[in-house]
C-alpha cells in the first residue's frame, strides 16, 4: 500500500447532508478533511460551530474537518476527493474542477442520477469535463440521517482502478461504516439512479394503503428491471445483488421520508406532479430519472414496464390506481428471464 493510504488529506466537495455526513466519517477516522461549499457564510458557520446547522444539525464535526469555499486550495491540498453535489450542478462543477485537478487526483462521486439531456452517467460527465481518469462511484444503502448517528452501514466503491478503492477504503472504513469494492462502475451508477424510480413507485404503493407483500413484489420486479437496464448499458448482473442494487433499493424504498417516496405517496392521494413540485424546494431525482430512462428504453426497444407505468403517471396524466392496474397486468413468466438479457 502506498503512503497515501495512511494519512492523506481528503476533500469532500459539497456540504449538503450527505457531504457533511461523509466529512464527519472522515473526521471520526482522524483524516484531515477539507469540506468545500460554494457559500462562504456556510463555511464560516461550520468552522465556528463545528456543525452544519443548515443540512445536518446536531452532528458535531471533528476538529480535523475544515470547511472552505476555495476550490483551488482543495484541489492543491487533497489528491483524494469525494464529489457530493446534486445532479443538476455536477457538470458545471466538474468543468470548474477541471481547471484545478490533475491526472494524479482520485475522485469518487456519489451522485445517483443519469443526466437527462445526454443519458450520460456521472463518471462519463467527469471524463467529458476534466482530465481525470482515476474515477470511482460510492453508492449503497446510506441514509445520511442514520449514518450521522453512527449507526452501522455498508457501502460500495466501484472503480476500474484498484487504487481508487484502496484509497477510498482506507479513508472511509470505520467501526460503523463498511466499504466494499466492485469494478462495475456502470452497474453501480445505474443501480443508484434507477432505485429512485422504484422508490417513487413504492411511494404510490404506500399512498394507496397497500401492504408489505405489494411492496416486496414491486421491489423484486424493480430490481429485475434495474438489472435489465444495467445489462443493456454494459453492467454486470451480479452488481445488482449487492450494496448498490438491492441494498440501496431496500433502504430507499423502506424510508418514507425520501423525496421520491413522498412524491409517489402524494400522487397516490390525487395531487398532480405540478402541485407537488410547487411545494417542494428540490425536485425528486426519480422524476427526472424516469424521463431519461423511459426515453432510453424507447430508443433501444427495451421492455421496462415499471418505468413505463411510472412515466405514464408522471408525464401522461395517469393515475395511481391505473398505475397499479398497469403493473398487475404485466404478463408473468419465468422469473429470471429478465436477468439474462
Partner 1 sequence: MRPEDRERAQVESSTRVVDHHVATAGKNPREYLEDLVGDTLYYERQRLEREPRGDARTRADTAFYHKVQRRLRHASNADLRELLEEIARRFAAEVVGNFDERVYKLTTTAVPAGLSVMLNAMSPRRSGSLSSLGAGLSGHIQTQGETDHVRDLLDRGTLVVVPTHSSHLDSIVLGYSAHLLGLPPLLYGAGLNLFNNPLVSFFMNHLGAYRVDRKKKARLYKDVLKEFASVAVEMGYHNLFFPGGTRNHSGAVEQHLKRGLLGTAIRAYVENLRAGRPKPEIFIVPCTISYKLVLEAETLVDNHLKETGKSQYIIDRDEFSRPRRVLNFMSDLVSLDGRIVLTFSKPVDLVGNEVDRQGRSLDPRGRVVDPRRYVLSDGAPAHDAQRDMEYTNGTAERIAQAYLRDNVIMSTHVVAWSLFRMLERKNPHLDLYRLIRTGGTTPSLPISEVAGEVDRTLLAISELGTRPRMGSDLEQGDTLDIIADALRYFGTYHTQPAALRRGDRVFPKDMKLLYYYGNRLRGYELGRQLAERREETLSP
Query: Known catalytic residues?
Result: 195
Stretch that binds partner 1, among 18-26, 101-109, 191-199, 325-333 (CB under 8 A): 101-109
Least Å from the CB of residue 56 to partner 1: 33
List the beta strands (DSSP E) in 254-310: none
Which member of 51, 124, 128, 236 binds partner 1 (CB under 8 A)? Answer: 128
CB of 81 to partner 1, least distance (A): 14
Of the pair 130, 142, the CB lying nearest partner 1 is at: 130
Which of residues 164 and 309 has its CB atom nearest to partner 1 in the complex? 164
Letters for 3-32 (x = contact with partner 1 by CB under 8 A, - = none) are xx----------------------------
Phi-psi label, residue 14: left if phi above 0, alpha if psi -120 to 50, beta otherwise: left
Q: Which of 40, 162, 325, 335 binds partner 1 (CB under 8 A)?
A: 162
Rule CB under 8 A: say whether 216 interacts with partner 1: no
Q: Grid cell 483524516 — which residue?
A: 31
Q: Is 137 helix (H, G, I), strand (E, B) or coil?
A: strand
Class of residue 305 by CB neighbours under 10 A (exposed 0-12, middle 13-18, buried 19+): middle
**How many angstroms from the chain centroid is the CA of residue 187?**
12
Q: How far apart are CA 306 and CA 268, in angstroms?
A: 16
Q: How far does the chain reach from its first CA to its final CA, in angstroms?
A: 39
Site membership for partner 1, residue 2 (CB under 8 A): yes
Q: How far is CA 122 from CA 229, 252, 291, 321, in A?
A: 16, 20, 17, 34
Q: Smallest distance from the beta carbon of 256 to partner 1, in angstroms? A: 41
Residue number, 300 or 322, with CB nearest to partner 1: 300
- Determine if 38 is a binding residue for partner 1 (CB under 8 A): no
Quote the least distance from Cβ 127 to partner 1, whole Å. 7
Q: Can you tell me the distance from the alpha carbon of 46 to that of 43, in angstroms, rounded to the nearest whole number? A: 5
DSSP label at residue 184: -
Q: Which stretch binds partner 1 (CB under 8 A): 2-10, 14-22, 249-257, 315-323?
A: 2-10
Q: What are the cell numbers at 132?
A: 481525470
Angle, to 10 degrees, between the axis of helix 212-233 and the axis of helix 305-315? 100
| Residue closest to 207 by CA, chosen among 313, 287, 316, 292 | 313
How many chain residues touch partner 1 (CB under 8 A)?
Answer: 20
Among 99, 152, 241, 295, indicate the residue that binds partner 1 (CB under 8 A): 99
Residue numbers at the binding site for partner 1 (CB under 8 A): 2-4, 95, 98-99, 102-104, 127-131, 133-134, 160-163
Amino acid at each position: 500500500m502506498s503512503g497515501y493510504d495512511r494519512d492523506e488529506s481528503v476533500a469532500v466537495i459539497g456540504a449538503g447532508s450527505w457531504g457533511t455526513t461523509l466529512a464527519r466519517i472522515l473526521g471520526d477516522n482522524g483524516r484531515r478533511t477539507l469540506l468545500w461549499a460554494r457559500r462562504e457564510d456556510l463555511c464560516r458557520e461550520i468552522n465556528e460551530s463545528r456543525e452544519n446547522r443548515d443540512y445536518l444539525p446536531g452532528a458535531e464535526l471533528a476538529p480535523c474537518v475544515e470547511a472552505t469555499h476555495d476550490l483551488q486550495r482543495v484541489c492543491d491540498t487533497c489528491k483524494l476527493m469525494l464529489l457530493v453535489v446534486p445532479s443538476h450542478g455536477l457538470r458545471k462543477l466538474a468543468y470548474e474542477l477541471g481547471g484545478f485537478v490533475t491526472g494524479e487526483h482520485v475522485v469518487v462521486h456519489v451522485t445517483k442520477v443519469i443526466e437527462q439531456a445526454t443519458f450520460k452517467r456521472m463518471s462519463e460527465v467527469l471524463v467529458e469535463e476534466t482530465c481525470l481518469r482515476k474515477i470511482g462511484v460510492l453508492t449503497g444503502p446510506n441514509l445520511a440521517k442514520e449514518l450521522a448517528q453512527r449507526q452501522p452501514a455498508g457501502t460500495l466503491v466501484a472503480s476500474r482502478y484498484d487504487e481508487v478503492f484502496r484509497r477510498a477504503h482506507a479513508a472511509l472504513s470505520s467501526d460503523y461504516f463498511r466499504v466494499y469494492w466492485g469494478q462495475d462502475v456502470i452497474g453501480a451508477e445505474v443501480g443508484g439512479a434507477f432505485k429512485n424510480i422504484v422508490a417513487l413507485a413504492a411511494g404510490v404503493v404506500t399512498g394507496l394503503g397497500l401492504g408489505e407483500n405489494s411492496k416486496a413484489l414491486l421491489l423484486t420486479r424493480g430490481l429485475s428491471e434495474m438489472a435489465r437496464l444495467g445489462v443493456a448499458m454494459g453492467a454486470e448482473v451480479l452488481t445488482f445483488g449487492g450494496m448498490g442494487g438491492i441494498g440501496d433499493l431496500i433502504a430507499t424504498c423502506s424510508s418514507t421520508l425520501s423525496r421520491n417516496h413522498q412524491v409517489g405517496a402524494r400522487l397516490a392521494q390525487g395531487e398532480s406532479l405540478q402541485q407537488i413540485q410547487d411545494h417542494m424546494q428540490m425536485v425528486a431525482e426519480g422524476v427526472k430519472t424516469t424521463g431519461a430512462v423511459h426515453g432510453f428504453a424507447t430508443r433501444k426497444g427495451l421492455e421496462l414496464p415499471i418505468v413505463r407505468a411510472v412515466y405514464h403517471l408522471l408525464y401522461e396524466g395517469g393515475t395511481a390506481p391505473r398505475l397499479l392496474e398497469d403493473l398487475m397486468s404485466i404478463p408473468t413468466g419465468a422469473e429470471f428471464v429478465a436477468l439474462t438479457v
